[in-house]
Amino acid sequence: MGQRYIHILNGPNLNLLGVREPEIYGRDTLVDVEAACRREVAGTGLDILFRQSNAEHDLVGWLHEARVGSAGIVINPAAFSYAAYPILDALKMCECPVVEVHISNIHRRDAEWRSRSIMTQVVTGIVSGLGTDGYALAVRHLVMLDQRQLAA
């Protein structure tokens, strides 16, 4: 058995995390988020693949790579949450646990449409509104699930 990964996938505009609307998304950058996620897998035998793209087709391709044999997927689809049916279809094919993460509480945002992520219907769980800490919590959960599976 080769190296097992947790895939952490980030959608559009998250490359500007830390400078884009810090009153909503905070001042942590994606580099900070990746470092926190790497701390969560340290010593577990798992590694992470951390990616971001503003292009929907990149996320679809990465989901295809991750769908079999991964310890899990953490995805922040960002604005793709609301209408990216190709990402939704790719998530449906994933055979591993998937945690959807949103930095802000999408249910308390300014526009009602932001509370309606189409991805939520197919993911294992969702973390919303805990800032960038939500990523590390999602990774910790996937590590726990993986350890349980190995012990069984």
7-20 pLDDT per residue, tens: 999 999 999 999 99
Give me the number of domains the chain comprises.
1
Tokens of 49: 């693949």
Distance in angstroms (rounded) separating the CA atoms of residues 67 and 95: 6
Q: Does 25 participate in catalysis according to the annotation?
A: yes
The answer on whether 118 is annotated among ligand-binding residues is no
Residue 55 clears pLDDT 90, i.e. is over it: yes
**102 is annotated as an active-site residue:** yes
Edge-to-edge strand ranges of the sheet holding 98-102: 46-52, 4-10, 72-76, 98-102, 125-128
- Entry pTM: 0.94
Residues 102, 107, 135, 141: which is the catalytic one? 102
Query: Known binder of ligand: residue 114?
Result: yes
Residue range(s) defining the domain that contains residue 23: 4-151
Pairing of strands 98-102, 46-52: unpaired
The per-residue pLDDT for range 91-135, each reduced to its tens digit, is 999 999 999 999 998 877 676 655 578 999 999 999 999 999 999
pLDDT at residue 116 in the model? 77
CB 46 within 8 A of CB 7: no
Task: Please indicate if the annotation marks 104 as binding a ligand.
Answer: yes
- What's 44's domain CATH number? 3.40.50.9100
pLDDT, position 107: 77
In this predicted structure, the answer to whether residue 5 has a pLDDT above a threshold of 80 is: yes
How confident is the model at residue 115, as a pLDDT? 59
On whether 6 is known to bind a ligand per the annotation, the reply is no
Encoded tokens for 29: 């950058």
Where residue 38 falls among pLDDT bands split at 50, 70, 90? very high
